[in-house]
Amino acid sequence: MDELILELKNEIIETLNLEDMQPDDIDTDAPLFGEGLGLDSIDALELIVLMEKNYGIKLRDASKGKEIFKSVRVMADYIEKNRTK
Amino acid sequence: MKVIFKIADNIVSPLGFTTAENFSAVMSGRSAIRRYEDKWDIPDPFMASLIDRDALDHECGSLPLMQHYTCFEKMILLSVSKALENSGVQPDSDRVLFIVSTTKGNVDLLYENKFNLPSDRILCGVTARVICDYFHNPNPPIVVSNACISGVCAQIAAMRNLFGGRYDYVIVTGADCQSRFIVTGFQSLKALSPDLCRPFDKDRKGLNLGDAAATIIYSVKDEYEMEPDDWVAVDGSIRNDANHISGPSRSGEGSYRTLVNVLHDTNPDDIAFVNVHGTATVYNDEMESIALYRAGLQAVPVNGLKGYYGHTMGAAGVIETILSMCAVDNNVILATRGYETCGVSYPLSLSNEIRHTDKRSFIKLLSGFGGCNAAILFKKGGAL
Amino acid sequence: MIKSWVKITDKSVTLNGQMMDFPSYGNALLTEIYRSKVKDYPKFFKMDALCKLGFLGSELVIQDENTNRFVPREDRAVILFNRSGSLNADVNFQATLQPDDFFPSPALFVYTLPNIITGEIAIRNKYLGETSFYVLEKKDSETIASQIVASFQDNITKSVIGGWVDCVDENNFEAVMFLCYRDEENKLHEEIKNILSK
């Protein structure tokens, strides 16, 4: 699980162009959206693409992202349970 | 005082190749939006209003096409040619300026260039030159690329250039041709409705896309020469929300300011209607309702035409202006197709039926990506 | 009246005619300008190359103005021109549409409109005025000057961040941007043409 969390943090930094950020700068249990990382609605859509591309998880309903992107840990948990690659 | 007035117009869309055909289709409640599956190698089905390419080619048979043109270019050539018929305007004159409004032009050439057109044909300025060359127009054309508000901005640019005195006529033509690029892009933004779009409705789920080209030819004259039936573009305004590049402002800041600016000293009671953007995305329609309310226009009838054509992008501002002019000419406020139950915070005077009006002016309002918003106030000569 | 102007190419940066000292080239040059002159706007790294270029051009001329920034204002417009439209972003988005590797990227798609740069500048500076983008066949200084001068027909507009901002790809670009004010003596047209020829 810790491995997946680190992998996810690296992917988030790369995909969302969070230049100057290190995996350690992202709190595993803090909300991904709202305060902190300064992410917006386009970032949320890009994370949905990331889930499909890297883990084969297709989210039909964009609003479901809200629950999954609560934190990196929640996201990793969801991926672990639903991944197809 | 000089005034900018309309000489001629045309609409080329799936609902017809003339303004009259289009107006009559909209009056009878027809929509060209339908469902497409496995189109353009796009995995997910989508709803759109697309021109039948064979019908377009057939209609273009009347034009002297000496070389290959893309679908986008043919739509423009056809629309401008039809607008020019009987207009008395000589497009080859150096007193005529072409302004093209488009968002994606020939972008489909990135995917498929069947006829080996030069690679720079993907650039909108080059495309516009090709169009000017067809009409033997010697002036450098201007392409307005302001996302979804381009069609209104192009008309504002026409007003400015005519007031400037360098030109006697400006041919404003707005067009976009749907493609794999555009449809998949909007799918990636989760902005497309799986059903017919429902502007301002509580069950709205997003927009539909559409193909169209539309043309208005403007000229300038002294106010005392004005005829009662002349359509005059009175004032235009372009403002930014300064909020987000893809999400509309929550306070409707930019749209609100454009409305206030064009209204100026016009009494809202004299406005027949505001023809809004009304894409049927959750955020756009909500934003527009806030802007209209803040501008004191909540009692003025409002309508949106995306239920007939979908969102025709670069063409939208031009088509919707022409149809609004036709509506006032016929003493009607066109129906907002797809609307049933109010789904915005500030209720507006909307209807899915045709309403009567005796008033002779209207506002065309648009908003778009990049946080931009634009409006123009139009009045019939007698109402000025 | 032109207050300040900047020219940024993939090889050099000139502010008000003075060459600025940046050793990098191409895309790295843009990052270097950001790190040395802006620093505090991480959204920069999310932008496509056209927006990075236009954003930095606007930062340099606005910083040079040396007045109170980030106060909402409606009297300033952003009016830009180019030849390539959003070509670089278009190519990058198209690359996510390969039939055997089909993952359309929303973050790339939003930059496939050239006027996004005018929005980025408006957001950064809280400019509520006009934002317009025009695509021309070539860098035609007569057309650019006449459209910017004509934009002052809007009675509220008192100043314009204007100019040319063209990006063929990440390492091949040119911007000539300026801050100009409404002038009553009709000199602006010639001033703009003059700056664009530099």
B239-259 confidence digits (pLDDT tens): 999 999 988 889 999 999 999
Q: Which tokens belong to C44?
A: 């920069």
Distance CA B61, CA B39 (A): 26
Q: What secondary structure letter does DSSP report for B349?
A: B
> Over the stretch C122-174, which tens digit does the pLDDT of each residue have?
999 999 999 999 999 999 999 999 999 999 999 999 999 999 999 999 999 99
| Chain B nearest-CA residue for C92 | B110
For B24, counting Cβ atoms within 10 Å of its Cβ (0-12 exposed, 13-18 middle, 19+ buried), the class is middle
What pLDDT does residue B53 have?
95
**pLDDT class for B382, splitting at 50, 70, 90?**
confident
How far is residue B236's CA from residue B169's CA, in Å, rounded to a whole number? 18
Q: What letter would DSSP give residue C127? A: B
**Segment B208-231 mean pLDDT:** 97
Task: Report pLDDT digits (tens) over B93-103.
Answer: 999 999 999 99
Indicate whether A28 pLDDT > 90: yes
Whole-angstrom distance, CA of residue C84 vs CA of residue C90: 10
What domains sit in chain A, N to C, each tagged with a CATH number? Answer: 2-82 (1.10.1200.10)
Could you say which residues from 38 to 77 on chain A have a Cβ atom under 8 Å away from some Cβ of chain C? 38, 42-43, 45-46, 49, 52-53
Mean pLDDT of B223-247: 95
Q: Between chains, do C42 and A16 touch, taking CB under 8 Å as contact? A: no
Rg (CA), chain B: 19
User: Is the domain defined by B2-223 classed in CATH 3.40.1010.10?
Assistant: no
- Within an 8 Å CB–CB cutoff, is residue B247 touching chain A? yes
Residues in CB range of C159: below 8 A, 6 or more apart: C3, C75, C76, C77, C179, C180, C181, C182
Taking residues B5-12, what's their average pLDDT? 98
pLDDT of residue B317: 98
Joined tokens for residue B61: 């048979």
* C108 vs C105: CA distance, rounded Å: 5
A18 interface with C at CB cutoff 8 Å: yes
Q: Which chains touch B (3 or more CB pairs under 8 A)?
A: A, C
Interface probe for B, chosen from A15, A40, A46, A50 (most Cβ of B below 10 Å), is A40
* ipTM for the complex shown: 0.98
Question: How big is the A-C interface in CB pairs under 8 Å?
Answer: 28
Mean pLDDT of chain A: 91
Of C85, C132, C138, the CB nearest to B124: C85
Predicted TM-score of the model (pTM): 0.97
User: For the domain with range C2-196, which CATH number is right: 3.40.50.2300, 3.40.50.1370, 1.10.3720.10, 3.40.47.10?
Assistant: 3.40.47.10
pLDDT of residue B171: 98
CB contact under 8 A, B247 and A45: no
Mean pLDDT of B332-338: 98
Q: Measured between beta carbons, which residues in chain C are less than 8 angstroms from residue A49?
A: 103-106
Q: Reply yes or no on whether the pLDDT at B199 is more than 90.
A: yes
Could you report how far apart the first and last alpha carbons of chain C are, in Å?
A: 17
**Can you say whether the dihedral through the CA atoms of B174, B178, B180, B186 is positive or negative?**
positive
* pLDDT level of residue A65 (50, 70, 90 thresholds): confident
Confidence category of residue A60, pLDDT binned at 50, 70, 90 = confident
Whether C107 and A45 lie within 8 Å, measured CB to CB: yes
CATH T-level topology, domain B233-383 = Peroxisomal Thiolase; Chain A, domain 1 (3.40.47)
Buried b (16+ CB within 10 A) or exposed e, B95-109: ebbbbbbbbbbbbbb
Show the tokens assigned to B332.
Answer: 């009607």
Query: Which tokens hold the place of B64?
Result: 């002297």
B291 neighbourhood in chain C, CB within 8 Å: none
Q: With a cut of 80, say whether residue A34 has pLDDT above it.
A: no
Amino acid, single-letter form, for residue B218:
Y
Q: Is A73 exposed, middle or buried (0-12, 13-18, 19+ CB in 10 A)?
A: middle
Domain ranges of chain C: 2-196
C42–A42 CB contact, under 8 Å: no
pLDDT computed for residue C112 by the predictor: 98
Which residues of chain C carry a pLDDT beneath 70?
none
What's the token pair of residue B293?
């309310």
**Cβ atoms within 10 Å, residue B383:** 16
Where do the CATH 3.40.47.10 domains begin and end in chain B? Answer: 2-223, 233-383
Written as six digits, the tokens of B195 are: 């059903």
Closest-CA residue of chain A to B44: A60
Q: How confident is the model at residue B128 (pLDDT cuts 50, 70, 90)?
A: very high
